[in-house]
Structures are given as C-alpha cells and as structure tokens.
Copies of this chain bind each other. A is one copy, B any other.
C-alpha cells in the first residue's frame, strides 16, 4: 500500500511527519492520513510534493498496484506489449534480459549453456528446461 512506502522512505531519511509535511508543503494531518491509508486517493500534486523531499517519485510510491508495465508505442505493437508485460509480470528484469540477449548474440554460448544445463540438472533441480539446439 502507498502509505507504507511513504512511511518507510520517510523514516529512512529520519524525518518526522511534521518535518516531511513541512518540506513537502502539505499539511501534516493529511500526510498522517495518507501514511495510515485512511486517505488512499490523493491528487497528483500532493503525491509529487511528497515524493520530492524523499528523493523519490510517484511511480515508486504507487508501488506495483497501479503499474501496467508497458508504454504505448508506435513500434511495439499490441502483441509485443502483451508478451513483454507477461514476461515482466513473471519476474524478468531488465538486467536479465540484457545479459541474456547479449549472450544469445555471441557465438560461444551454445556449448557453455549445454554444459551448464547438465551440471545444473545434476546438482540443483530447480530448472525444468534444457537447451537442445540452437540454429543460426
């Protein structure tokens, strides 16, 4: 919930509600309400004002709740967007994707992956797929 995030960041900075409200330019009573989720529908301006002195931003304060992941884009069509969205929802990080993409582009990865697959099967059973063949 949004209140917890604000409170967490606030305490991490060592601010009191009064202090943060002062820095942000909102009333401390209202800030108190928001932190306790008694007001879960603040305006954009208030959110922005609160986020600033926390060195944060609205998106983070919103947390996962309101975050559909993919931007509207003319190049990435609907199918792409849903594919990526699903992947992100399943836990793919940008770092993972970048690294893996680069790995695929290289030509040395085939053997090492197969080796890794075998060895990882031996010790840890967490993986349930294995690379059989790469065709390029």
Q: Which residues of A contact B (CB under 8 A)?
A: 9, 12, 41-45, 47-48, 51-52, 54-60, 62, 66-81, 83-88, 90-94, 96-109, 111-113, 115-117, 119-136
**Cα-based distance from A130 to B114 in the complex (angstroms):** 12
Inter-subunit contact A80/B69 (CB<8 Å):
yes
Please give the distance in Å from A35's CB to the nearest CB on chain B.
15
Q: What chain B residues lie within 8 Å of A83 (beta carbons)? A: 94, 97-98, 101
Please give the distance in Å from A96's CB to the nearest CB on chain B.
5
Inter-subunit contact B122/A107 (CB<8 Å):
yes
Copies of this subunit:
2
Inter-subunit contact B117/A115 (CB<8 Å):
no
Q: What chain B residues lie within 8 Å of A57 (beta carbons)? A: 66-69, 71
Could you say which of B42, B112, B117, B133 contacts A44, with CB atoms under 8 Å apart?
B42
Inter-subunit contact A108/B132 (CB<8 Å):
no
Please give the distance in Å from A72's CB to the nearest CB on chain B.
5
**Cα-based distance from A41 to B122 in the complex (angstroms):** 53
Inter-subunit contact A101/B112 (CB<8 Å):
no
Could you say which of B60, B68, B71, B104 contacts A72, with CB atoms under 8 Å apart?
B60
